[in-house]
Amino acid sequence: MENVSNYYESIDEASRFSRNSRRIEFLTTNHVLETVIPEGAYILDVGAGAGIYSFYYAERKHKVVAIDITPKHIDIIREQAEQTGIALDAYVDNAIDLSRFESESFDFVMCFGPLYHITNEEERYACIKECLRVLKPGGHLAVAYINKFSIIPMLATRDQQFIRNSLIDKVINEGIIREGDEDCFWTDAYFTSPDEIEAFMYQFEIKPVAHAGTDGISHTIHECIDRLDEEQFDSWLDYHFKTCRERSILGMSSHGLYVIQKGSE
């Protein structure tokens, strides 16, 4: 994961949701989660980035612990927590090893970044296993993923040099790119599909709760979305909320959110 950590050390992750086309992912995720997060929950944010979700829920009277593999992100979270007086613990940790935390400690676990970048299947399994281990029976786990079917349309609008058969085959058939490869347009990354993420999660004793495309095609047509005025954006967001769970278009969303409930003992 060194490549991934180094990549995020070099970019401004804190500004990721600054544009409307990107903010839709954040707004939709919270729109879905507000129906399942209990009041005053103890939340673990795995792969917290610069902490936008951590602070959002801490400000709403939840107790939040954030971890991330990138030291810069944890520094940002700790500094913001100190400046704002918001109680929020943050640690540099790897999502595949949550041994810092006791089993069945948390009411809710958010895993919103790790699966984007864990290219090894056994490590992806370890990540979800650990998230479920620290979750209380009956608690909820929300997992974010990147849809493989959205990648080529996105590149067609941003970086057309990668529109070639070798990359298409790699994304659709393998779902993996690695830094240093000729076809790598990002850093080490893993892409999956709605059906594949569901099949992967069914290896565990879970109950599916919600499945949504958190940004639809908004990330792909970002320039169009960012030109909408406030009223138009509100209408677009209303349309998106009405269609984000529509199965027939779920795979075209750049980001997906799968929420499950851990089996009760």
Task: Return the percent helix, strand and coil in the chain, to nearest 5.
Answer: 45, 20, 35
Contacts of 99 (CB under 8 A, 6+ apart): none
- Average pLDDT in the 191-220 region? 96
Which CATH number covers residue 6? Answer: 3.40.50.150
Element (H, E) at 258: strand 255-262
Task: Report the distance separating Cα 256 and Cα 254, nearest Å.
Answer: 7
Q: What is the pLDDT of residue 27?
A: 97
Total count of residues recorded for the chain: 265
The whole-number pLDDT of residue 161 equals 95
Q: Provide the pairing of β-strand 206-213 with 255-262.
A: antiparallel
Structure confidence by residue, pLDDT tens digits, 24-83: 999 999 999 999 999 999 999 999 999 999 999 999 999 999 999 999 999 999 999 999
Q: What is the mean pLDDT of residues 101-124?
A: 97
Q: How far apart are CA 3 and CA 51, in angstroms?
A: 21
* pLDDT for res 265: 59
Closest CA to 125 of 190, 214, 54: 190
H or E element, residue 111: strand 106-111
Band (pLDDT 50/70/90 cuts) for residue 2 is: confident
Answer whether 56's CB lies under 8 Å from 77's CB: no
Residue range 14-25: mean pLDDT, rounded: 90
Quick one: three-class SS letters along 181-217? Answer: CCCCCCCCEECECHHHHHHHHCCCCEEEEEEEECCCC
The three-class DSSP label of residue 246 is: coil
- Note the pLDDT of residue 63: 98
pLDDT of the residue at 264: 75
Give me the phi and psi of 7, to 5 degrees please: -60, -50
* Strand pairing category for 106-111 and 42-46: parallel
Say how far apart CA 75 and CA 108 lie, in whole Å: 23
- Please provide residue 91's backbone torsions phi and psi, each rounded to the nearest 5 degrees: -140, 150
Could you report the per-residue pLDDT of 116-175, keeping only the tens digit for each?
999 999 999 999 999 999 999 999 999 999 999 999 999 999 999 999 999 999 999 999
**Model-level pTM?**
0.96
Taking residues 99-114, report their average pLDDT: 97
Range of the domain at 70: 2-262
Q: Is residue 189 pLDDT above 90, yes or no?
A: yes
User: How confident is the prediction for the chain on average, in pLDDT?
Assistant: 95
Number of domains in the chain: 1
Query: Between residues 187 and 264, which one has the greater pLDDT?
Result: 187
CA atoms within 13 A on the CB side of 12: 4
**Band of residue 13 on the pLDDT scale cut at 50, 70, 90:** confident
What pLDDT, on the 0 to 100 scale, is given for residue 214?
98
